[in-house]
Amino acid sequence: MSVEFLVNALAAGLLIGCFYAAVTIGISISFGFLDIANISHPAFVIAGSYAAYLLNQGAGIDPLLSGLLLTIPFFLLGCLFYDIYFHAFEQHGREGLSGLAFFFGLMFIIEVVLIMIFGVDFRYVEAGYLNSTWRLGFLDLPLRLLIPSLVAVLLFVALQLFLSTTFQGRAIIAVSQDPSALSLLSIRPRRIKRLAFGLSVASAGLAGALLIMIQPVEPSIGREYIGRVFAICVLGGMGSLPGTLIAALLLGVIESLTSSYYGPAWAPAVSFTFLLATLTLRPRGLLGR
Amino acid sequence: MPLFSLLALIVAAALFAAFLAIGNEYLFFAGYVVVQYVVIATAWNILGGYCGYVNFGTGAFFAVGAYATVALHKLPNYSENNFPPVVAEMIAAIFPLPIPILILVGGLLSGIIGLLMGYLTLRLRGVFFAIATLALAVVLQTLVVNWDYVGGSRGATILRPQTTSLFGMDYIHYLFGLMLLLAAIGIIIARGIERSTFGYGLASIRDDELAAEAAGVPTLRLKLACTAISGALMGMAGAPFPYYVGYVEPNSTFSLIYAVNAIAMPMVGGTAGWLGPLLGSLTLGTLQQIASVTISSEASLLLIGVILVAFVVLAPRGMLGWFDRLRPRRRGMVAAGGGH
Amino acid sequence: MTAFLEIDAITKKFGGFTALDNITISVGRGERVGLIGPNGSGKSTVVNCLSGVFTPELGAIRFRDQDLRGLRAFERTRLGIARSFQLPKPFRSLTVAENVRVPLLYAGRGRSKAIDERCYDLLTRVALHDKADWLPGALTQVELRKLELIRAVATEPELLLADEAMAGLSGSEVAEIVAFLRQLSDDGVTIIMIEHIMSAVMSFSNRLVVLVSGKKVADGDPQMVVKDPIVESAYLGQ
């Protein structure tokens, strides 16, 4: 096909990749730093989407604003769930089977509750600017994709800065490497982990609001994202945020090209195949941790 | 062990006779689903409870069995139009295949898929294995959705005969009986594994894989065998499904409900031994049937999710754990206990 | 004829960090080798390379003239190389007896008696036979160490790697373990003891190897090695 087509597909891929990075960063924190395999993270994202939908439909609030507002209740939710997780599992060293089952159950509950409340129809938000498209020569950049992607990058950079410059941020990185050293500095590892997990879920809330700006959502979309976020996390190197961004962009582009040239029916398979391939061929850092 | 096998088969036969005597048609339909879950839960637990590896992709293995049946069901028709006459005649002679053969085929295919998946992913930490199973399920589903021969996303209709050649029994009764037999076999296999050298090997892998290797346990080999057996049983449970339901389409066949139930039932019942998945599937299966009839099918799904999370947090050893309180120390049985 | 165990110029790196730098050690059959060195000097890495958990980038390991490269951990166990772990790793959901059963089932060679009998015999050797039905969670530290060791012994090894089997134990407990190891040695098992407790090392070993920062700095008669000024300053002085 034409160069125009290719370039547009690439651009769309890069933009959606930015968004994927924003979704994944929560997992990078919870899984990369805290070693908590929170597979319900995408379900929280979808919950965020629906929350933004309600705010938009009910009170006419702009989805971007909703996203920012939602970070607070989602942060608190994250803290709550970390406490449950800690008391039920981490405390007793039973994170393996039970931890996975816990988050799987949680993911399922969220999805079913959303179906019960909203049904399986697609929901979307309305905001004036979302319908425009910015044209650069032959490059079509729809704002509904461009703006969330830019915000996603901002979120990403903000979290990166938080982790590398602030005291709490560096404590989070430290706790992933040596929790006992942290307690020697009279910082309780549990508090730091709770903070980190709260941030992780808060980012999910914001990402959800961005998602519903990009595309209409329905409850089961979260499942597609499980493969994407873990594929990105693994490929990018766990806990390496720059790696996560690159991997996210890569995945976004490959998906976009596949979708453009072969049709969208194959899209879910791309990320999951990616994941399988990564796990099989490049499992460095995953063996025997 | 032979005694147990005999007992299991007798119980299955007795249940079958009882259902026939009661004669309520709805019971057969509901019973089929519950017994199907006994097989699935038992199968899941062999890999999950005994070996410690969580499989989120149960739906995929189940669907492989179901779609194998669909593919074989459509073969005579397809071969008539596309294969050389000689081949088409041969196929017409042996088809349609009897259900027990389909079960074996479904089981074989699922077992092979389990083996392949295991080979790709079993070197990884448990968490990544679990995610990989989810990935596999999505990939398989996408493949099936795009495969027009079995109907793709439109689905396929499978007409079941009204009666079978066996005593002129009603087909649904026949399917139910087969599923009972499969459940008995699954439980016999599970119990057999528990008490064997293989079972001890799996338990050691579950408790500490590194130490197991150091003790001479060929961990990869055992894990692969485990995945194959578990997957095969799930595939066998799925093989008769098209005849039961009449219409097979990817979304419901690959549905996450299988994955959730496959995890919830053993974890609620208890992962320590064969009795746990049985208890869990009987209770949760029946509860779901009741809830979807009296409230709604979404409500029954929600119920399962909530019960799963509640048990995982509050009663990690499941129902078997309640009985465990009566026996403080474990003897003989290879038990999973509340250790993970 | 090569030695019973040949560690031939192995180098092991983790990313940019060199854990083992050109280590060569020859161990004769029946020797009682003490492997000492400061924390992080690479002792456990040697054990992990020998047992197959890690693969060295350079060099080779030969056991009874057989190159171990490519052999997985369980295969090495079946060849006759057993190891115990620094932090005991019992099978927590299995009883003490079942913990010993696993290696008997999977690595026991030349079985002459029934598994149960041999299991009981082994447990008696470490005085754990009356706790056969117990779960590891109920055992004391020294009992866990003994379980760890007897599990390794159950594989009928010709070479035993005892990785800090005595850390944190009291004086009499240390003596207990040393006596047990000495008995094993008398039965013909070659033992490499990785340890920090110098009294144990000196009373047990007939050869001492010292590692510092991944390099071998001394290798020989224990009495001579401890007087070596390099060893004194690098390790014993701490």
Backbone angles phi, psi at C192, to 5 degrees: -110, 115
Chains interfacing with A (3 or more CB pairs < 8 Å)? B
Interface with chain B: mutation pick from A94, A272, A280, highest number of B CBs within 10 Å: A272
Query: Where is average pLDDT lowest: A231-245, C38-52, C209-223?
Result: A231-245
Q: Which DSSP state fits A217?
A: B
pLDDT tens per residue across span B151-166: 887 888 877 765 566 6
CB within 8 Å: A227 and B316? no
| Contacting residues of B for A98, CB less than 8 Å apart | 267, 312, 316, 340
Out of C85, C101, C151, closest to residue B200 by CB: C101
Distance from CA of A288 to the nearest CA of B (A): 6
Neighbours of chain C (3+ CB pairs under 8 A): B
Indicate the residue of C52, C53, C77 with minimum beta-carbon distance to B215.
Answer: C77
Task: Give the tokens for residue B159.
Answer: 């007409």
Nearest C-alpha of chain B: how many angstroms from C72? 8
Q: Stretch B55-70: mean pLDDT, rounded?
A: 92
Separation CA B271–CA B339 (nearest Å)? 11
pLDDT over 60 (residue A285):
no
| Cross-chain Cβ contact B313/A273 below 8 Å | no
Residue with tokens 């005291």: A167
| Residue pair B235/B59 in contact by the 8 Å Cβ criterion | no
The confidence score (pLDDT) of residue C111 equals: 61
Angle between helices A189-214 and A63-88 (to 10 degrees): 140
Residues A207, A211, A216: CA angle, nearest 5 degrees: 155
| Neighbour-count burial for A147-177, b at 16+ CB within 10 Å, e otherwise | bbbebbbebbeebbeebeeeeebebbbbbbe
Contacts of B215 (CB under 8 A, 6+ apart): B204, C74, C77, C102, C103, C106, C107, C151, C154, C155
Check: CB of residue B52 under 8 Å from CB of residue B126. Answer: yes
Q: Is the torsion defined by CA of B56, B59, B60, B62 positive or negative? A: positive
Q: Which of B206, B216, B218 sits opposite C103 (nearest CB)?
A: B216
Please list every residue in chain A whose beta carbon sits closer than 8 Å to the beta carbon of residue B56. 104
Q: Are strands C66-67 and C58-63 parallel, antiparallel or unpaired?
A: antiparallel
3-state DSSP of C124-175: HHCCCHHHCCCCHHHCCHHHHHHHHHHHHHCCCCCEEEEECCCCCCCHHHHH
Quick check: C82 and C102 in contact, CB under 8 A?
no
**Is B158:B242 a contact under the CB 8 Å cutoff?**
yes
Q: How far is A112 from chain B (nearest CA, A)?
A: 6
Out of B127, B132, B308, name the one closest to residue A101 (CB): B308
What pLDDT is stored for residue C228 in this prediction? 85
Question: What is the 3-class SS of B139-170, one letter each residue?
Answer: HHHHHHHCCHHHCHHHCEECCCCCECCCCCCE
Quick check: A197 and A36 in contact, CB under 8 A? yes
| CA angle, residues B159, B161, B166, in degrees to nearest 5 | 150
Mean per-residue pLDDT of chain C: 89
Q: A116 to chain B: nearest residue by CA?
A: B298
The residue of B50, B197, B209, B222 whose CB has the most chain C CBs within 10 angstroms, and thus the best one to mutate to test that interface, is: B197
- Token pair of C115, please? 């598994």
Task: Count how many Cα atoms sit within 13 Å of the Cα of residue B132 in the half-sphere of its side chain.
Answer: 24
Q: Which amino acid is at B323?
A: F
| Residue C110 pLDDT > 70 | no
Largest Cα–Cα separation, chain A: 62
| Residue A33 vs residue B111, higher pLDDT | B111
Is the pLDDT reported for residue A49 higher than 50? yes
Indicate yes or no: CB of B340 within 8 angstroms of CB of A97: yes
Checking if the pLDDT of B334 tops 50, the result is no
**Cβ distance of B207 and C92 shorter than 8 Å:** yes
**Rounded CA separation B285/B237 (Å):** 15
Pairwise CB contact (< 8 Å): B331 & C95: yes
What 3-state class would DSSP assign to B322?
A: helix
3-state helix, strand, coil in chain B (%, to 5): 75, 0, 20
DSSP notation for B85-146: HHHHHHHHHHPSPPHHHHHHHHHHHHHHHHHHHHHHHTTS-HHHHHHHHHHHHHHHHHHHHT
Q: Which residues of B touch A226 (CB under 8 A)?
A: 131, 134
With CA atoms as reference, the chain C residue closest to B335 would be C93
The CA-CA-CA angle for residues A269, A271, A274, to 5°, reads 105
Query: How close C84 comes to chain B (CA, Å)?
Result: 8
Please give the residue that has the higher pLDDT: either C236 or A3. Answer: A3
Q: Using 50, 70 and 90 to split pLDDT, how confident is the model at B329?
A: low
Chain C residues whose C-beta is within 8 A of a chain B C-beta are 51-53, 72-75, 77-78, 82-83, 85, 89-95, 98, 101-103, 105-107, 133-135, 151-152, 154-155
Predicted pLDDT of residue A229: 87
User: Over pLDDT 90: what percentage of chain B?
Assistant: 44
User: Smallest Cα–Cα separation from A45: which of A22, A17, A61, A15?
Assistant: A22
The per-residue pLDDT for A126 is 81
Chain C residues within an 8 Å CB radius of B329:
95, 133-135
User: What are phi and psi for residue A195, nearest 5 degrees?
Assistant: -60, -45
The predicted-structure confidence for B237-290, as pLDDT tens digits, reads as follows: 999 999 998 888 888 888 888 999 999 999 999 998 999 999 999 999 999 999
The pLDDT tens digits of the residues spanning C133-174 come to: 999 989 998 899 999 999 999 999 999 999 998 888 888 889
Residue B96, preceding peptide bond in cis (omega within 30° of 0): yes
DSSP sequence for B197-211: HHHHHHHHHHH-HHH
Condensed to tens digits (0 to 9), the pLDDT of residues A100-113 reads: 899 999 999 999 99
Which chain C residue is nearest to residue B272, measuring alpha carbons?
Answer: C93
Query: In this predicted model, which residue has the larger pLDDT, A60 or A238?
Result: A60
Residue A224 forms contact with B (CB below 8 Å): yes
Residue A283 has pLDDT above 70, yes or no: no
How would residue B295 be classed by pLDDT, with cut points 50, 70 and 90?
A: confident
Q: Residue B56 is nearest to which of A104, A112, A289, comparing CB atoms?
A: A104
Q: Give me the residue from A115, A273, A286 closest to B298, CB to CB.
A: A115
Tokens 């090392």 sit on residue: C201
Q: Per residue in B237-258, is it b (16+ CB within 10 Å) or e — as a string?
A: bbbbbbbbbeebbbeebbbbbb
Q: What is the ipTM of this complex?
A: 0.90
* pLDDT for the residue C61: 94
Contact A279 B121 (CB under 8 A): yes
Pairing outcome for strands A133-136 and C66-67: unpaired
pLDDT digits (tens, 9 = 90+) for B36-55: 999 999 999 999 999 999 99
Whether the pLDDT of residue B93 is over 80: the answer is no
Count H helices, E strands: chain A? 11, 2
- Chain A hits for B142, CB-CB cut-off 8 Å, are 265-266, 268-269
Q: Which residues of C touch B200 (CB under 8 A)?
A: 94, 98, 101-102, 105
pLDDT, tens digit, for every residue of A259-274? 888 877 777 778 778 7
> Are the Cβ atoms of A97 and B125 closer than 8 angstroms?
no
Q: What is the pTM of this model?
A: 0.89
- Give residue for tokens 């408790």: B207
C81-99 pLDDT, tens digit each: 999 998 899 999 899 999 9
Expressed in angstroms, the distance from the first to the final Cα of chain A is 46
Chain C nearest-CA residue for B215? C103
H helix intervals, A89-142 = 97-118
SS (H, E, C) A8-70: HHHHHHHHHHHHHHHHHHHHHHHHHHCCCCCCCHHHHHHHHHHHHHHHHHHHCCCHHHHHHHH
Asked if the Cβ–Cβ distance from B203 to C93 is below 8 Å, we say: yes
What are the chain B neighbours of C94 within 8 Å (beta carbons)?
200, 203-204, 207, 334
Cα–Cα distances (Å) from C146 to B71, B215, C139, C176, in that order, read 58, 15, 10, 9
pLDDT of A166-207, one tens digit each?
888 888 887 777 666 666 666 677 888 899 999 999 999 999
Tell me if B201 and C135 make a contact (CB, 8 A cut-off).
no
Beta strands C215-220 and C207-212, pairing class: antiparallel
Contacts of A46 (CB under 8 A, 6+ apart): A110, A111, A114, A208, A211, A217, A219, A221, A222
Query: What region, left, alpha or beta, does residue C151 occupy, with left being phi > 0 and alpha being psi -120 to 50 degrees?
Result: alpha
CA–CA dist C79, C98 (Å, integer): 22
Nearest alpha carbon to residue B164 among B240, B229, B221, B215:
B240
Give the mean pLDDT of chain B: 86
